[in-house]
Amino acid sequence: MGPLAGIRVIEMAGIGPVPLCGMMMADMGAEVFLVERRSAASSESTLHVSKRDTMKRGKKIVALDMKDPACIQVLLSMVEKADVLIEGFRPGVMERLGLGPAICLEKNPALVFARLTGWGQEGPLAQVPGHDPNYIALTGVLHHSGDADMPPQAPPTLLGDCAGGAAMMAWGISSALIPALREGRGQVIDAAIVDGIAYLATFARSFYHAEQLSDDRGASWLDGAAPWNRSYGCLGGGYITLCPVEERFYLVLLAKLNLTEHPLFISAKQFDNTCWALQVDHLKTLFGSESRQYWCDLLEGSDACFTPVLSYGEAHEHPHGKARNAYVEVDGQWQPAPAPRFSVTVAEPAWEETPSLHAANILTGMGVPTELLRAAGVTTSE
């Protein structure tokens, strides 16, 4: 039923954003064939796994030995019948395996061959290892994260791997599928996390060019200097966050907090930064005097642009998420439901993967010749 129903995707097993991209496509109805290695998974690839690997949901798992020429032939046969291939190896690895884009596109000219790396297929850093903080640091995004008196710190794996990597590659694949399906014209996608983050930062950069954000970290309203755009600690633990940028919402906040007539606020305009430091100190004391629940009862649901700062363990319990069925429980683990939502091609993902035990049946159903499977040692008893 999903919008990608009928699309076949080969995902080369890896770590980080590639599995997330594959999950996103499976959630949207694509048939995703996850090609894992037959040997034990690396410790790096299972660091995020507790009871189950949530990013394998909806995927059909096939175990192949990429050092075996017979298994390479099986994979090339899969390529002939697929619409998309996604991989996240260092540049040159797929070519050395005999699975580079030139070979795959010769087998299937309509194939979308999507390559996801940190630094891209070319450039002086192309072969250098890195992780999420490294990529966002090079784009200027990390510079504006965190308090001014502390080193920059971004949310774990979210901005680089997931936003600049997985989400941007999924966007690229969706775009490339249009000429592939209309005209049979496949192509290679060079999805670099560092490029994706720089692109997504266009909105933030517009504030930078408008001098609403500066190189002086923590001195602008956008990166924590304004008392009305930051988070505060509460009595007994927990945090709340505010962001009433528009004046009419800012006035609601002042009214709710009984600050409309307070000397620190009555004489100062919202964007008068000469008063911000003293106002921040006042609000720190104010919010620290009551519990988070007290402030939720007072401010949540109003036009004050207020929310509690929830942990992953709390987020699925919030009434708004519950009302929207934004999370699904599987084996005691809460997983976010697919997004965005569609009115007609409704995404109804399979919340579990199809294990490699059924690899032969999976590949036979895909159209891979039985003789190739035998030569590669792919059997129903695998």
Active site residue 316: no
The secondary structure of 294-309 as a DSSP string is: HHHHHHTTSTT-EEEE
Structure tokens at 373: 């499977």
Instruction: Report which residue type is found at 25.
Output: M
Question: How far is Cα 221 from Cα 67, in angstroms, rounded to an integer?
Answer: 55
Give the integer Cα–Cα distance in Å for 184 and 232: 54
What residues pair up with 233 in beta bridges, in sequence order? 239
CA 68/CA 377 separation, integer angstroms: 10
SS3 sequence of 165-179: HHHHHHHHHHHHHHH
One DSSP character per residue, 168-219 reads HHHHHHHHHHHHHHHH---EEEEEEHHHHHHHHTHHHHHHHHTTSS-SSTT-
Question: Is 223 an active-site residue?
Answer: no
Which pairs count as long-range contacts for 23-27, CB under 8 Å and 24+ apart, including other chains? 23/54, 23/55, 23/56, 23/57, 23/58, 23/59, 24/166, 24/167, 24/170, 24/338, 25/84, 25/170, 25/173, 26/57, 26/58, 26/59, 26/349, 26/350, 27/2, 27/57, 27/58, 27/338, 27/347, 27/349
CA–CA distance, 91 with 127 (Å, rounded to integer) = 7
Please state, in angstroms and rounded to a whole number, the distance separating the CA atoms of residues 254 and 265. Answer: 8
Residues in the chain: 382
Cα angle for residues 79, 59, 185 (degrees, 5° grid): 30
| End-to-end C-alpha distance for the chain, whole angstroms | 31
Task: Determine which one of 48, 65, 131, 358 is catalytic.
Answer: 131
Radius of gyration of the chain (CA): 25
Q: Which of 161, 195, 223, 282 is catalytic?
A: 161
Side-chain half-sphere of 60: how many Cα atoms within 13 Å?
A: 18
Active site residues: 131, 161
